[in-house]
């Protein structure tokens, strides 16, 4: 081993290596340093490893099913509001904007963002709470952990092995969402996805709640974050009202939060004199809201928790969904022959409750209701 020779990996195309070397900062994750895949694969002619990961995730059944999974509001609320899939698209869009500005690895960012909510069961956190309770003796259920189970075990793309055989950086990045890493802070690409997730749900949950009439624009304009965004909008465009004001404020909120994240990250990067990914690991978290914006964001989140996530209508639909999921869980545990053969076989390896949990977690909201009607009759009324 000659210490002075640059590290080269046979698994990454030269074009990708050159492009990243020319554009990415030294403390970004460069594809050439990938730890590779569990099952080694020949190099791709022109795609980098994280582009390959992205394509595998996009083509997975779990990813397509996000289109009929709840973000906050189930389908019975109409079809304006976000689903888990459109939420994910917004996260990708914000995360890539941040990554490009900070000259990070956008391919890795995109793949990480696509995976981040892949493990959500039907009915979002309401469904997660039921599965966690039903599986309490088996180690519980956590959507972040389940995303890894999907890409590592449940999805199939090659008859020789389970899972999608993704790059180790995707697996490690997702793992930091539920387990602190002994290696320190996650790479900036992971931090950017986390920050983008928060920008996305803080703004779109308020937008959805407005559209559904759960809160009013006046309610939101009492919050310092919305007040200031409206003031900024007012400086450019006077006399906006109603939906035009709402749209303009939402756009402003997104741009303001993204700009704040970039400014804060740049400032910290300069102060801490970063040069390598290892430096990022030993630094404080870098992609976080600045001191002025952070408490305003917190106040909005508190408002959303009280007025939206715990709104009577949301709780009612949540209770119904939970009761349906609980009954289906009990039914499949009593009569595993009602599940597809793959999940019956899996039960022999991982135990029946976990296999029932995997089956239910993979369902869309509407498929849960369809199965309930087919197997147990009328849906419970509120």
Q: How many CB atoms lie within 10 A of CB 181?
A: 13
Report which of 279, 290, 282, 231 is spatially closest to residue 257, judged by C-alpha positions.
290
Q: Which is nearer to Mg ion, 63 or 283 (CB)?
A: 63
Distance CA 116, CA 91 (A): 9
Q: Which is nearer to Mg ion, 155 or 197 (CB)?
A: 197
Q: Which is nearer to Mg ion, 89 or 376 (CB)?
A: 89
> Per CB under 5 A, which region of 113-121, 144-152, 157-165, 175-183 contacts Mg ion?
113-121
Q: Which is nearer to Mg ion, 190 or 283 (CB)?
A: 190
Find the shortest distance in angstroms from Cβ 194 to Mg ion: 9
Find the shortest distance in angstroms from Cβ 88 to Mg ion: 7
Find the shortest distance in angstroms from Cβ 198 to Mg ion: 9
Find the shortest distance in angstroms from Cβ 179 to Mg ion: 17
Find the shortest distance in angstroms from Cβ 165 to Mg ion: 24
> Per CB under 5 A, which region of 139-147, 189-197, 290-298, 302-310 contacts Mg ion?
189-197
Find the shortest distance in angstroms from Cβ 128 to Mg ion: 12
DSSP collapsed to 3 states, the chain:
CCCCCCCCCCCCCHHHHHHHHHHCCCCCCCHHHCCCECCCCCCCCCCCHHHHHHHHHHCCHHHHHHHHCECCCCHHHCCCCCEHHHHHHHHHHHHHHHHHHCCCCHHHHHHHHHHCCCCCCCCHHHHHHHHHHHCHHHCCCCHHHHHHHHHHHHCECECCECECCCEHHHHHHHHCCCCCCCCCCCCHHHHHHHHHHHHHHHHHHHHHHHHCCCCCHHHHCCCHHHHHHHHHHHHHCCCCCHHHHHHHHHHHHHHHHHHHHHHHHHHHHHHHCCCCHHHHHHCCCCCCCCCCHHHHHHHHHHHHHHHHHCCHHHHHHHHHHHHHHHHHHHHHHHCHHHCCHHHHHHHHHHCHHHHHHHHHHHCCHHHHHHHHHHHHCCCCCC
Q: Which is nearer to Mg ion, 97 or 339 (CB)?
A: 97
> Per CB under 5 A, which region of 9-17, 117-125, 242-250, 280-288 contacts Mg ion?
117-125
Q: Which is nearer to Mg ion, 84 or 246 (CB)?
A: 84
Q: Which is nearer to Mg ion, 197 or 202 (CB)?
A: 197
Find the shortest distance in angstroms from Cβ 197 to Mg ion: 4
State yes or no: residue 358 binds Mg ion (CB under 5 A).
no
Distances (CA, A) of 12 to 7, 176, 234, 277: 12, 25, 50, 19
Total number of residues that touch Mg ion (CB under 5 A):
2
Interaction mask 274-303, Mg ion, x per CB under 5 A:
------------------------------
Find the shortest distance in angstroms from Cβ 60 to Mg ion: 17
Find the shortest distance in angstroms from Cβ 124 to Mg ion: 10
Q: Which is nearer to Mg ion, 117 or 205 (CB)?
A: 117
Which residue in the set 117, 169, 202, 260 belongs to the binding site for Mg ion (CB under 5 A)?
117
Sign of CA dihedral 310, 316, 318, 322: positive
Find the shortest distance in angstroms from Cβ 257 to Mg ion: 15
Q: Which is nearer to Mg ion, 115 or 166 (CB)?
A: 115
Q: Which is nearer to Mg ion, 201 or 226 (CB)?
A: 201
Distance CA 103, CA 16 (A): 15
Interaction mask 190-229, Mg ion, x per CB under 5 A:
-------x--------------------------------
Where on the chain is the footprint of Mg ion (CB under 5 A)? 117, 197
């Amino acid at each position: 081993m000659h210490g002075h020779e640059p590290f080269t990996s046979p698994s990454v195309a030269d074009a990708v290596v050159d492009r990243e070397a020319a554009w990415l900062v030294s403390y970004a994750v460069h594809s050439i340093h990938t730890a590779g895949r569990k099952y080694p694969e020949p190099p791709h002619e022109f795609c980098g490893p994280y582009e390959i990961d992205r394509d595998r995730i996009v083509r997975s059944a779990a990813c397509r099913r996000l289109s009929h999974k709840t973000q906050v509001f189930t389908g019975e609320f109409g079809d304006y509001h976000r689903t888990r899939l459109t939420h994910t698209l917004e996260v990708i869009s914000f995360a890539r904007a941040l990554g490009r500005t900070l000259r990070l690895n956008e391919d890795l960012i995109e793949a990480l963002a696509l995976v981040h909510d892949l493990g959500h069961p039907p009915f979002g956190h309401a469904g997660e709470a039921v599965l966690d309770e039903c599986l309490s003796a088996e180690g519980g259920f956590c959507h972040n952990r389940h995303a890894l189970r999907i890409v590592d075990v449940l999805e199939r793309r090659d008859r020789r092995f389970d899972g999608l055989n993704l790059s180790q950086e995707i697996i490690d990045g997702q793992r930091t969402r539920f387990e602190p890493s002994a290696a320190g802070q996650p790479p900036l690409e992971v931090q950017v996805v986390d920050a983008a997730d928060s920008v996305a749900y803080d703004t779109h949950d308020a937008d959805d709640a407005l559209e559904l009439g759960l809160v009013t624009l006046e309610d939101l304009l009492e919050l310092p974050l919305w007040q200031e965004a409206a003031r900024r909008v007012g400086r450019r465009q006077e006399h906006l009202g109603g939906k035009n004001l709402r749209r303009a404020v939402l756009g402003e909120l997104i741009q303001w939060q993204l700009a704040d994240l970039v400014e804060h990250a740049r400032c910290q990067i300069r102060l801490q004199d970063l040069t390598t990914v290892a430096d990022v690991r030993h630094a404080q978290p870098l992609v976080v809201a600045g001191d002025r914006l952070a408490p305003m964001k917190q106040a909005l989140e508190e408002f959303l928790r009280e007025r939206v996530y715990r709104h009577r209508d949301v709780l009612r639909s949540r209770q119904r969904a939970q009761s349906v999921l609980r009954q289906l869980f009990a039914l499949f545990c009593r009569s595993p022959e009602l599940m597809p053969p793959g999940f019956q076989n899996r039960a022999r390896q991982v135990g029946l409750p976990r296999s029932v949990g995997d089956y239910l977690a993979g369902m869309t909201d509407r498929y849960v209701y369809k199965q309930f009607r087919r197997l147990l009759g009328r849906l419970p009324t509120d």
